[in-house]
Amino acid sequence: MRTLIKNGTIVNADATTRADILIDGEQVALIGSDLDVSADRTIDASDRWVIPGAIDVHTHMELPFGGTFAKDTFETGTRAAAFGGTTTIVDFAVQPRGGSLRQGLDAWMEKAQGKAVIDYGFHMIVSDVRDDVLSEMDQLVDEGITSFKLFTAYPGVFFSDDGAIFRAMQQSATNGGLIMMHAENGLAIDVVAAEDVAAGHTDPYYHGTSRSPVLEGEATNRVIRLAEVAEAPVYIVHMSATDALNELRQARNEGLPAYAETCPQYLFLTLDDLGNGFEGAKFVCSPPLRPAEHAEELWKGLQTGDLQVVSTDHCPFDFHGQKDLGQGDFRKVPNGLPGVEDRVDLLHDGGVVAGRISPNRWVEVIATAPARMFGMPQKGTISVGADADVVIYNPNRTRTISAATHHMDVDYSCYEGREVQGKSETVLSRGRVIVDNDEFLGSPGDGRFLKRQRPNRG
Ligand code: DUC
Ligand code: ZN
Ligand code: ZN
């Protein structure tokens, strides 16, 4: 199958070019002006941008959490991702406590195989660092699971102490993997949260105030310094606070290989969203939403390059039937927000249309940097030989985000009623059109497991 995309404006991270694109099979075969070649199908991209399919390196399909499961399956979640212009996800497989990494990986492979409609890779959540687990990390790196997440939060669940984190970092320094850190001081947070509940402060708002940004800054500094001594790079996930960003800036100014992502919720939502009684449960995630001034700093971090990636931490729970497990005690609200479908448009609207970042920087943070940093050189760019993951994007079309029209399997939207400018109109995954003008044309099982290379630390 040969597809010719004509008359579009290709927006890559490094350049914007008016050119046609010939796709042959699953890859981009040719890029040039006024291509005069035969094709089975021609797509007219006049007045449209042609961007690389976006990559979300932080999702949690079917994550067991807080006595329930994140609602989207690999089928519903990747379908929603595709509607939003995302053609690759990297999800987090979870090591069962006391079990092996292999058990966790097998379980996640099972969840994804035959279901995912777009390509997918896995990071591994390491919740129990043991000698045998450290050796397993080496094997997994060879099998394309080249990044590992550890937590300074969630004592008794995912939490690792500093010694365990340090050992995992030492291991990654030798095997070439990348340690990703959830950096909040969970031990101190749990004390504050218990005090709040004892004082009758049980509403979701206190989820936000109990998790001080200072304790995100402290944990961020701590894990960066552990990585420094272990001589390993470190990637901080879902950065939400100025305190943490300042620690990252300091480390990067010292030349340390410290990296971070933020997520749309920290750029567009604030602590105020956690108010309004139990409605605030819709916005319970960790780290929590912060006062508005933190968002402005995060935008600056994206502008300067101190923040490299925007991912979603997509982890949806229904308001009715899941979030309401936390009625009367905010600690029992399952943590996580839906977002895999809206990231590309939110970042276009709040970033490019608002004049904060260029179209090229937008492509960089949603596609090109994730591909480079997580070992997927065939993704994140429109270039000859790359996978033909391509989005025909209309930068002028507006839409209103709503749970009534979104494709994520969750009963609310964090952005209900928000109008955004920019929309993915046609989405190709390895040369196949999987979304065309609001119609889904893909199939479960079309997505392939991505054996990722070692992260590029440059
Ligand atoms: N944070 C969330 O909000 N949900 C899942 C896990 C996490 O770290
Ligand atoms: Zn996390
Ligand atoms: Zn997460």
Q: What is the pLDDT of residues 382-438, one digit of tens each?
A: 999 999 999 999 999 999 999 999 999 999 999 999 999 999 999 999 999 999 999
Categorize the per-residue pLDDT at 456 as very low, low, confident or very high, splitting at 50, 70 and 90: confident
Minimal-distance CA residue to ligand 1 atom 4: 336
What is the per-residue pLDDT for 260?
Answer: 98
Q: Is the CB of 285 under 6 A from ligand 1?
A: yes
CA of 24 to the centre of ligand 3 (A): 36
Q: What's the chain's average pLDDT?
A: 98
Q: Is 60 in the pocket of ligand 1 (CB under 6 A)?
A: yes
- List pLDDT tens digits, range 142-160: 999 999 999 999 999 999 9
Residue nearest (by alpha carbon) to ligand 1 atom 1? 286
Q: What is the CATH number that goes with domain 55-373?
A: 3.20.20.140
Residue 458 pLDDT level (bands cut at 50, 70, 90): low
Residue with CA closest to ligand 1 atom 5: 336
Is the pLDDT assigned to residue 457 strictly greater than 90?
no
Q: How far is the CA of 32 from the centre of ligand 3 (A)?
A: 40
pLDDT band at 178 (very low <50, low <70, confident <90, very high): very high
Pick the residue whose CA is nearest to atom 8 on ligand 1: 286
How confident is the model over 91-114, as a mean pLDDT? 97
pTM of the predicted model as reported, rounded to 2 decimal places? 0.98
Express as a percent the part of the chain with pLDDT over 70: 100
CA 182 – ligand 3 centroid, Å: 8
- What are the sequence ranges of the domains in the chain? 55-373
Per-residue HEC secondary structure of the chain comes to: CEEEEECCEEECCCCEEECEEEEECCEEEEEECCCCCCCCEEEECCCCEEEECEEEEEECCCCEECCEECCCCHHHHHHHHHHCCEEEEEEEEECCCCCCHHHHHHHHHHHHCCCCCCEEEEEEECCCCCHHHHHHHHHHHHCCCCEEEEECCCCCCCECCHHHHHHHHHHHHHHCCEEEEECCCHHHHHHHHHHHHHCCCCCCHHHHHHCCHHHHHHHHHHHHHHHHHHCCCEEECCCCCHHHHHHHHHHHHCCCCEEEEECHHHHHCCHHHHCCHHHHHHHCCCCCCCCHHHHHHHHHHHHHCCCCEECCCECCCCCCCCHHHHCCCHHHCCCCECCCCCHHHHHHHHHHHCCCCCHHHHHHHHHHHHHHHCCCCCCCCCCCCCECCEEEEEEEEEEECCCCCCCCCCCCCCCCCCEEEEEEEEEEECCEEEEECCEECCCCCCCCECCCCCCCCC
The pLDDT, as a whole number, for residue 143 is 98
* pLDDT tens per residue, range 233-247: 999 999 999 999 999
Regarding the beta carbon of 182 and ligand 1, being less than 6 Å apart is answered yes
With a 6 A CB cut-off, is 123 part of the ligand 1 pocket?
A: no
Average pLDDT over residues 39-48: 98
